[in-house]
Every structure is written in structure tokens, then in C-alpha cells.
Structure 1
Amino acid sequence: MRAIVVGAGIGGLTATLSLRRAGHEVTLIEQTARFTDIGAGIQLAPNATRVLHRLDLLDVVAAQAVRPSHVSFRTWSDGTEICRYLLGREAEDEFGAPYLVLHRADLHQALAAAVPTPSVRLNTVVVGIDQDDESACVTTANGERLGADLVVAADGIRSAARQWLFGADEAVFSKTAAYRALLPSNEVADLGLPDLALWLGPGRHFVHYRVRRGKLLNVVAVCGTEAAQESWTARAEPGEQLREFDGWDPRVLNVLERAGQVFRYGIYTRAPLPRWNIGRVTLLGDSAHAMVPFQAQGAAQAIMDAAVLGDTLADATPAEVPAALDRYVRRRLATATGMQARSARAGEEFHLPDGPEAQERNARMAAYAAENRFLPQATTWAADALDEQTPS
């Protein structure tokens, strides 16, 4: 069977590898001329790393990553620990795969290196997708038409394919923006920062963890705002991040002050869809379910999409593609849409103002942690969608 995957991000690359693993011929189309070292930190929970293991990439990825022993939730003003959850060896033993934090580019590079070069078409812009009962076809900007038995649109949050399939709708601004930076870990060694921490405060939260085998500290500082550009490369004004987090724990301010180059990007999402596929064409990853990153599951959900897509198409003939895509969507839509909603609620919880609501949140989190070793979303890690029965 022949497949075309549009978009060579994490979801598109994993889909390509999963479809190749299922025995299919895949052409991966990407509009950029080359892969670049863009992005910052990313967290991969066991549901995602289990897929990497299946693709024989876990060791390669883990060699560039850090395995945090725990995650610590803290108060914004003085760093008092609200609660902590285990992420290290205990989580790996419980869920059958590790929890990793790493640079997004390291993950992307590992995935890209596993795709044979002849299967990749860089610097190719797709301007249309059409289909009939027998095949699907993409049209490129230079007028070329490429046919296949199915097309997987992993073209990101600003997906053109989504509009071609389901009509015009726009990405939704979450009214939050994030400052992000990477700085050498040895420059903050005197601060005694935990492996992975989330500091919660009024209208803001602050996340940090080490990447690149511990050599770099990844910093994400999220705040509410009425407007922000959606860009990985837009730089913050000098000192802007310090003004936004004025009054926070001195350790937070020290990290933000020592960060050299700071970027600021608006966080956008997409409204949930009742379906992702029509005929021989389906969405995958952010094009289907872009979410705020407050449960650290955006990339993981795209990786899970790709794994389940490969599973449902493993034994399908070209004639069976539409029915197989229906099964793929039935297996993934509810989980991914639920994670969208939980991520949005987590952001609201993280940003509660000081007072009774925040105190109640902290007490609830501490009580849950006293009874449970792992994060509440660990139920998602444990649900092995790779082995579950496809619902009718």
C-alpha cells in the first residue's frame, strides 16, 4: 500500500515510521528546505516512550535525554513544596517505559534519521488534496500530482488540510504566552533546583527541567495575556520576563535573569472535531487536536496517533483504507480530545489567584499525592492503546 504523509514534525515522522513498520511504502512531504535545531524542551511520558521502544528508537533518544527522579509542585512566592510525584525508576517499573525530558530537536533528529532519505521530499509545498473511491492525491505548488492509497495530514496547528477537509476554522488563542529559554545548567547549579518542577502562581506558572544529558536547563514561564504572536523565534524584550514574574521566589527570578536569549510565543489550540477523517485522508497530531502544553502531552498524543494509525492499517488492503481510518479515529479521538480538555483545565488550576481557591487546590494536590505515587494523568500512560481492542 502507498501512503503520503504531509508534514515532517514529530507526528508526521512517527507516522511515517509506523506505516513503514506495518509494511507500507511511504512518501513524507515537508515544506521546509532542511531540518533545523528549532524548539526547546519536551517531556515524553511512558505512553510515548513505549512507542519509541517499539520503533527501536528508545535507546537513541534516551541517550540524549534526562530521566527526572520526580516532579515537584511549588508555590510561587517562596517555593514551598505543595507535593511531589515519582517519575524515575519507579515509574518505569510501573508503566513499562521511562519518563524522559529532552530537547525537542534531539527527538526530531532521531526520528528523521530513521526515515530513509529517498522517502523524504523536502522543500515541497502541498496546495491541495483530493480523492476518489480508488485513491487520494496531493498537488504541490509546482503543479505536480502525487497519488497514493491514503494521505495522512500531519501539517500542524495551522493545518491547511484541516480546512480542505472540514472547512475554514482558525486556531484559537489560549490567552496565554510562554517565555522560553535554555541556559547552561552549571550557571544555576548554586540554586539547588529540583530535577523537574512547576511553580504555581496567580495568572502564571513556571517550569524547568534539564535536557541534553543534563547540560542545559530548559525554562518555560507561562503567563496570561490578551495578545501574543505565535512564533518559535520571536524574542522577548530585554527584562520583559522579569517584569512579568516580579515578586516571585528569588530562585525563579535568578533563573530568568541569568537566561540570555529569551523567546516569547503565544499558545494556540484548535477546537475539537467530531471526526478527523474523510475517505482516504485523515488528520494526525496538532492538525487534529492541538492543545495547551499544561499536561505535557501534546507530542505524546501525536506519537500515539501515529502508533495506532500504523496498527489499524497493518493488515488493511487499499480498498479497506477508509474503514481502517474510521477505526483509527474511533480509537484515538476520545482520548486526545479528553487530553485537550484536561490540559486546559490544568492551566486554569495552575493560575488560580492567591486565596481560598489556591489553598483548596494545594490541599487537594497534597492529599492526592499522599495516596498516589504518580501524577493524576498517569492513568493515560497506563492505558496501552497499542494493545487495546478497537471499539465497535
Structure 2
Amino acid sequence: MPPTPSAARRAPRIAVIGGGIGGLTLALALRRHGLRAVIYEQAAELAEIGAAVALSANATRELERLGLGAALAAVSTEPTELIFRDGRSGARVAAFPVRDGGAYRERFAAPYYGVHRADLQKVLGGALAGEGLHLGHRLAALDQRGDAMALTFENGAEVEADLVIGGDGVRSVVRRWITGGDKVRYSGTSAFRGVVPMGLLPSLPDPQAIQFWMGPEAHLLHYAIGGEADSVNFFAVVEGPETWTSDRWLAGIARAEHRAGFAGWHPAVIEMLDALPQSQRWGLFVTDPLRRWHRGRAVLMGDSAHAMLPHHGQGANTTIEDAVTLAELLAELPAAGGACDLDRMMRRYQGLRQRRTRTIQRSAWATNRLLHLPDTAGPEALARRDARMARFPEDFGWIHAFDARATALEAAAGGSRAA
């Protein structure tokens, strides 16, 4: 796509730390405006951690605008329904059509997809075609020198940039420089996960639906992925351990430990948990709400700014929103593109993104409590939980309806709409 007229200026040198979903989306969104980002990724090859991702309309509409709609649809599954179930009996507590009857697309004007992270990475990376991507670059230090940022990498490389965008995840080096400390903490919950061939799940009802199985101090989420919907991605969350002693995301488990939180649950749940060998658990970490997302010529996006519990499936989606917002605001910088303009842009970006992401973070914590409600809460509390799940579209439709590009354009034009 040719550059827009707004690109006819001295473009800022933009360095993106992290070649994940956010970094790649940002580079593609900037390219649409004739701006170039250089991505520095610590891994020797692009490989997303984790099994799969659920993309809701607030992200898929942006990816479609980037011309990725057909490629994304080819490797994704659109779930038939969203279903909440009792984890032990398997009874439906609440259900809402998604693909069925075109209900979700009709309401939000974009699809909901389940996609393997590796396939999403290929779609994004393929569109970028390696432009400005530097692998094997782990950031060691950054420092501001005048109006420029000096970056030093562990491989010895040194570069300068007018703007550094930290998309380097929960344990972000850029965030530590901006905030002066580490704002990540263990949530007190952990998860078991995997991708299971559909043929190994004969007891699973409604296999192409996205489903939450709820129970005391645990829940299991799963959805079909792939262009043929031939696999199921699951994410089983339990309370504990109370503390996390590993310095990594993963910790080893004893034999059959993954089943302990799901004793007496529906056969489909046990079947899914046992379909693959389980030798480790994932600690779920979040970032505390940040007072500032930027300092000097550096700014944060994605998990580095607002890592959240995954119970709304919004980690990747809000990261894509961040990327689109940054791209639109950068594209509207005045021709001079000076330090004051970048300062103003970063303040506006934080103003647009902070409240929305904090609200989703808080809601994910509240959802964790609902999904894990113990029997001791009593029948009235359980009935209130079930009634809350029955109001899911009314209570949480605002997450999916959000239009990041329109919001950013309105802000760039002097509007006051934020989140």
C-alpha cells in the first residue's frame, strides 16, 4: 500500500523491542502510513510462547483493516457458541450463539476466531516479510542521550532511535527503565494447557464451541482452532500454589498433579486434561497498574504495560489495540516530528489506553472469583453467579465492540473519547 500524504516528512526512527503479536502488528500498521519500525526480537526465530489465542472483534476488525482477513480466516475456527457449564455435572449454565446464525458478526461487525499462535505468527510475519526484523537481539540496556535513545543488546549491537516502544512482555526491560522497578507479580493462580486432537475427545459436548467449565477453585476453558477445527486448545486454571518460587513461567509438577483440582469433574474435562502428558504448570503473572507508561523517548505496549489474567481472553486483543492506537497517533505527528510532539503523542496514547486496560484487568480478577466460586458460598451465591453468566453479552459486549482505530483518529483530530 503506498504511503499516505501524512508520511511525506522526516519520519522518526522507531525501535520496537519484541517481535510478538504486538510488535508485528505495530510494524504493519505503521507501514500502512509509510512509516518504518525496526523490530528487535530476542529469540533466534519467531516462535510464540503458548498454544493458541482467541481473537475477538476488537482485534479481528483491525487485522482485517491491515489486509489480513482472508489469511487469518484460513487458519482459524469460528466457534459455534459461547457456553458456560457446571464443571462437574456438565449442565449448561448459559449459552450464546457466536458463529451460529451469524450472531456475533452481526452484533460486532467482525468475527471471533480461535487460532494457533504459530499460525497467527505466520500470518503477521508473512505480511511483514522480514522487513526491519532483527532476530537474536536481547535488550541489555537503554539510555536517553538528548532527544534520542541509545539501545545496547547482549550480542554487542548498539543502535539509536527517536522512539523506543517496549513490546517485550510481562518481564519487560523497557518497563523497568520507565518505572524504575519491576511491577510484575504472581496472581496466586496457575494453569495447565495444551492442544488436543479432536479425535481424542469423544466425551466432549459441542466440540466447536468456546466453553468455560466452572467449579470450586478451578475452571477449564477450551475452544477449537485451525482451519479445519481439528484440534482443541485448553487452558485449565487452578488456585495456587500460594507462592511461586521458580524464576521462570513454568514449574515442574508431580505425577497426576494436574488432576488434583478437578477431582469429580465431568468426564470430558478429565479426558482433555489426560489427553496429553502434563509435566509442568504455568504461573499466571500480571502487572500492577502503572502510573506512567512512558519516560523520555520510551513507551510501553501490550503485556509490558498491562499484563492481565486471561479470563476475558483479552491479552492479545488489547495488545493489537495498543499497536493500532500507536500507529494512528504516530501517523498524525506534525511534519517536524520533534521531541515535544512525541511527548504529546505518548501522553495522548496513555490517556487513550490506560483506563480501558485497567478496567479489563480488574474485570478479569472478578471473573476469576466467579469462575472459581466454592460450594461453601452457598446456593444463593451460586445462583447469582449463574445469573451473571446469563448477562454476559450485556455486561461485556463493550470489550468486543471497541474500535481502536476510530478512537485514535478521533483523539488525533482533537476529540475527547478515550476508552
Q: Which position in structure 1 is the counterpart of 2:222?
A: 208
Q: Which position in structure 2 is the counterpart of 1:265?
A: 282
The counterpart of 2:237, out of the listed 222, 230, 238, is 222
SS in 1 for 2:332: coil
Task: Name the aligned partner's letter for residue 381 of structure 1.
Answer: H
Deviation at 1:296, TM superposition (A): 0.6
SS in 1 for 2:168: coil
SS in 1 for 2:78: coil
| Pairing 1:346–2:359 present | no
Instruction: State the distance in 2 between where 1:68 and 1:359 align.
Output: 31
Structure 2 unmatched runs, 5+: 1-10
Instruction: State the distance in 2 between where 1:358 and 1:345 align.
Output: 19
Instruction: State the distance in 1 between where 2:248 and 2:154 align.
Output: 24
| Pairing 1:11–2:16 present | no
Equivalent runs, 1:72-111 vs 2, <5 Å: 72-88=83-99, 89-111=102-124
Equivalent runs, 1:213-292 vs 2, <5 Å: 213=227, 214-225=229-240, 226-228=242-244, 229=246, 236-261=253-278, 263-292=280-309
Q: TM-score, normalised by structure 1?
A: 0.93
Instruction: State the distance in 2 between where 1:140 and 1:100 align.
Output: 36
8 A Cα contact 1:137 1:151, kept in partner: no
Q: TM-score, normalised by structure 2?
A: 0.87
SS in 2 for 1:299: helix
Q: Which position in structure 1 is the counterpart of 2:7?
A: none
Deviation at 1:141, TM superposition (A): 2.3
SS in 2 for 1:386: helix
The counterpart of 1:126, out of the listed 112, 135, 139, is 139
SS in 2 for 1:272: coil
Deviation at 1:297, TM superposition (A): 0.4
More moved, 339-348 vs 244-253:
244-253
Cα gap change, 1:241 to 1:112, in 2 (>3 Å): same
8 A Cα contact 1:66 1:210, kept in partner: yes
Instruction: State the distance in 2 between where 1:321 and 1:70 align.
Output: 44
Instruction: Report the RMSD for the aligned CA atoms in angstroms.
Output: 2.1
Structure 1 unmatched runs, 5+: none
Instruction: State the distance in 2 between where 1:223 and 1:160 align.
Output: 29
8 A Cα contact 1:181 1:263, kept in partner: no
SS in 1 for 2:311: coil
Identical pairs, percent: 34
Q: Which position in structure 1 is the counterpart of 2:40?
A: 29
Deviation at 1:261, TM superposition (A): 4.8
Instruction: State the distance in 1 between where 2:261 and 2:388 align.
Output: 31
Instruction: State the distance in 1 between where 2:379 and 2:299 align.
Output: 41
8 A Cα contact 1:138 1:145, kept in partner: yes
More moved, 179-188 vs 138-147:
138-147
Task: Name the aligned partner's letter for residue 377 of structure 1.
Answer: F
Deviation at 1:162, TM superposition (A): 0.7
More moved, 304-313 vs 254-263:
254-263
* Equivalences, count: 390
Instruction: State the distance in 2 between where 1:358 and 1:98 align.
Output: 36
